[in-house]
Structure 1
Amino acid sequence: MHNIISRISLLLLLGLSLGQTFATTLTIASYPNFDTSVREIIQEYEKANPDIKIRLVSLSYFDHHNSLYTALKTNTPIADVVGIEQDYISKFVYSGKLAPISHAPYDAEKYIDQLTPFMVVNARGEDGQLYAIPADIGPGTLFYRPDLLARADVDIEAMTTSWDAFIEAGKQLKKQGVYLLANASDIKDVFIRTGIQSGEGIYFDQHGKVLVNSPRFVRAFELAKQVRTAGLDGRLQIWSNDWAESIRRGHIATAMMGAWFTGHLASWIAPEEAGAWRAHQLPGHVYANWGGSYYAIPQSAAHKPEAWDFIRYMTLNPQVQRRLFTELDTFPALQSAQSDDLLSRPVPYLGNQPAGRLWQTAARAMPAIVANKHDAFAADIVRKQLDLVLDSHKDIPRALADAERQITRKLQRP
């Protein structure tokens, strides 16, 4: 045994004498298209940090968040840094499985004033500590095809004066064989994010009261039903192959998403359609927050100091945030990166439209929606009830009453 240890020691000494080092592998778990930010930066980060090697593990949006939650719940090591989308952030922040980063050795609290405030609110747990850092935000945007609108003699300004005008324009588009939306549920997803009082959430108020049986949800369901009844949507499942192909082939005239959707269009949905799309504020003169992304460190992470250094580099470095916006159109959560020259630049994919200005206006006007740890299952229940309204002609008041009852019942379970 002594001889074996001596040999190992000798080999280590020889390795050191020859200048050999053993790099730390930092594992990043993410999802499309947030993972492209990591891919964009790997080479330069590893060059600046030769003792670090980045290993990126990416799964589909739902698979990533579901497997991540399962791994954290069972204390299974999964990664050193994890990406989390805004719809899931409260679920993970309140899980008790993320490392608190407010104080030493991270001291993230001192950077908070540099970040978009409403994103920071949702990164805090019940104890007031920070558990994640926002990387980008998603100002709600109406993406549209000006060529398809022109063919139907539809004007984008007139079309967006109200939700009723938006639907009427859809009827003109239908005459040209073009769908207004991929799915009627898209209009519901936007509308339920509007008109929210600051400090409240989409599905729950600040006291945890369920809000789904309310005029906001009634109107959202009514709009979606109008779209479906008039045959203005393609009945396509978002992120499906048929959905992407229909967008690619010019069968869909508009899409309501966050600013980040530009990157999806350019990278994999319709890269050959560069210049065919434009961006506009949402119909009805409303503003809505549509997603955003965070980085966090699991409690089980093997390399927490290195993980924090990487997160700081990705979220608090103005040059990196500017580069990611320039290359990937991810609207920066770091306020110093939201500079006039950057936001005024032409966005090539959007026909050189300076869309950053539009997104900045929306970002400044968006309500500070507070996430709730039960948002994910509440959203699923509401989604299923809308499907019953659209496909089985269920009465809207009954559907929302059932949604409220189901959510309340689930909250009461131990």
Structure 2
Amino acid sequence: MGNMICRGMVAIWLGLLATDSIATTLTIASYPNFDASVREMISEYEKLNPEIKIRLVSLSYYDHHNSLYTALKTNTPIADVVGIEQGFISKFVYSGKLTALSHAPFDAEKYSDRLTPFMVVNGRGNDGQLYALPADIGPGTLFYRPDKLQQAGVSIDDLTRSWEGFIQAGLKLKAQGILLLANAEEIKDVYIRTGIKSGEGIYFDAAGRVLVNSPRFVTAFTLAKQIRSAGLDARLQIWSNDWAESIRRGHVATLMMGAWFTDHLASWIAPQDAGRWRVHQLPGGVYANWGGSYYAIPQNAAHKAEAWDFIRYMTLAPQVQRHLFTKLDTFPALQQAQADELMSQPVSYLGNQPARLLWQTAAQTMPAIVANKHDAYAADIVRKQLDLVLDNDKDIQQALADAERQIQRKVQRP
């Protein structure tokens, strides 16, 4: 069924690849909400380049990445430029199906020191060449409702000083009929990014060994289980309609996401709650990257020169990166834009809090996590095992041992 869906999505893309009779049509394949950046800049880019017409093709997050992988694997033409999320980047740069950008005629290497270093590292293939350029990063952030905390007599320091304090604050919130989190899985997603050594990834070390059966994951699963057992989460699937509705109705006091989530709240989840949300660094002194986005050019793209010009415009033009940060809260991968004076400007949706200074600190402090081509698979396996722990009381040690075994089988498969 999954392959049928992927082939169907590829067919949709193919139907949209017809060329324009007047101008060169540059097709961009992306996903929500990364597609918003393209949509925001289409008019300006076409004005600067009247010989180019941009066609944006957007599928849902998983449909986009799954269909893109299927199309590249079968050498099916998809688009001139493709968007790729951080969690999938190594799978694609190691695929051998993207255009190498390091040298002529693109010469991306000469721009690499302008971009966030660890994002550049993850855009390289195993031959060391650049295959994707980062557009934005996702400094991890605790979103919280000050009014809910005040109702429960909880301060932001109580909430963030330690993970034990986070759970204790959740108990006080529960006593007032307020849930701490939408899903206990959020705490797992934060904690597994804690204490990672330089050169290692979340799920694999520098040598490719699986890391999930380790104290870091044991603690992450244990904290999530404590939250679920205490009834502190809404038990809602993240990104589901019920999840969004619980946020909209003020049922949860906190959310842990990347800085980009501000735009999600403001534009479609809870625009009516402008001024009610604030942000803080993650609990327990954790600094972590939460997503990020890349642009790349498929090997069989029809308009590579035009595609490269568009990628440079979106990733290396300071005015574009600043505009997208101001408009969509997509934290720039371009280091020049990270040091811009706009960082100190208040964010209206967050009650005029100068939240960007917080994200700037996180961006400069968070560890450089190295991606692995099996990250997306490992993340899915770990999530499924956590679900068994939370919903079926599966033993944590057994769950992680099973996750390790399943991931190793995938890695060892020819």
Q: Assess same fold via TM > 0.5.
A: yes
Q: Which amino acid aligns with 2:412?
A: Q
2:71 paired residue number: 71
The C-alpha deviation readout for 1:227-246, integer Å capped at 9, x for no partner, is 00000011111111111111
Q: Which residue of 2 aligns with 1:12?
A: none
The Cα of 1:273 is off from its aligned counterpart by 1.2
Q: More displaced, 91-100 or 171-180?
A: 171-180
Structure 2 CA distance for aligned equivalents of residues 355 and 288 of structure 1? 16
Query: Deviation string for 1:54-103 (max 9, x for gaps)?
Result: 11111111111111111111111111111111000001111111100000
2:232 and 2:38 mapped to 1: Cα distance? Answer: 38
Please give the alpha-carbon distance, in whole angstroms, between the structure 1 residues aligned to 2:298 and 2:273.
39
Deviation at 1:339, TM superposition (A): 2.5
One-letter code of the match for 1:201?
A: G
Counterpart in the other structure of 2:307:
307
What is the TM-score of this pair, normalised by structure 1? 0.94
- Structure-to-structure mapping, 1:9-48, within 5 angstroms: 22-48=22-48
Tell me how far 1:53 sits from its aligned partner. Answer: 0.7
Contact 1:141/1:257, CA 8 A, preserved across alignment: yes
The residue number in structure 2 matching 1:143 is: 143
| Structure 1 unmatched runs, 5+ | 1-20
Amino acid in structure 2 at the alignment position of 1:133: L
**Quick one: distance in 2 between partners of 1:124 and 1:364?**
21
Q: What is the CA–CA distance in structure 1 between the aligned matches of 2:176 and 2:158, rounded to whole Å? A: 18
* Structure 2 unaligned residues grouped into runs of 5+: 1-20
Give the AA of the match of 1:406. Answer: Q
- Give distance in 2, aligned partners of 1:377 and 1:340: 37
Q: Choose 1 or 2 for highest CA Rg.
A: 1
- Structure 2 distance, partners of 1:34, 1:173, is 34
SS at match of 1:68: helix
Q: Decide whether the 8 Å contact of 1:33 with 1:263 is kept in 2.
A: no
Match of 2:125 in 1: 125
Work out the percentage of aligned pairs sharing the same amino acid.
80
Distance in 1, Cα, partners of 2:369 & 2:277: 29
User: Which residue is 1:17 aligned to?
Assistant: none
Please show how residues 333-372 of structure 1 align to structure 2 within 5 Å: 333-372=333-372
- Structure 2: distance between partners of 1:125 and 1:191: 28
Q: What root-mean-square deviation, in Å, do the aligned CA atoms of Structure 1 and Structure 2 show?
A: 1.1
CA distance in 1, matches of 2:397, 2:172: 30
Range with greater deviation from structure 2 (41-50 or 403-412) = 403-412
Q: CA deviation at 1:207?
A: 0.2
1:30 counterpart letter in structure 2: S
**C-alpha separation between the residues in 2 aligned to 1:315 and 1:272?**
32
SS across alignment from 2:264? helix
Matched positions, count: 395
Question: 1:167-222: CA deviations, max 9, x gaps?
Answer: 11111111122211111111001100111011100000000110000000000000
Q: What SS does structure 2 have at the residue aligned with 1:234?
A: coil
Dislocated runs of 4+, deviation >2 Å: none
Could you tell me which residue of structure 1 aligns to residue 15 of structure 2?
Answer: none
SS at match of 2:231: coil
Report the AA paired with residue 147 of structure 2: D
TM-score, structure 2 length as denominator?
0.94
Alignment of 1:178-197 (within 5 A): 178-197=178-197
Distance 2:124 2:396 in 1: 35
CA distance in 1 between counterparts of 2:23 and 2:250 reads 48
1:340: how far off? 4.3
Which amino acid in the other structure matches residue 250 of structure 1? Answer: G
Q: Give the match for residue 16 of structure 1.
A: none
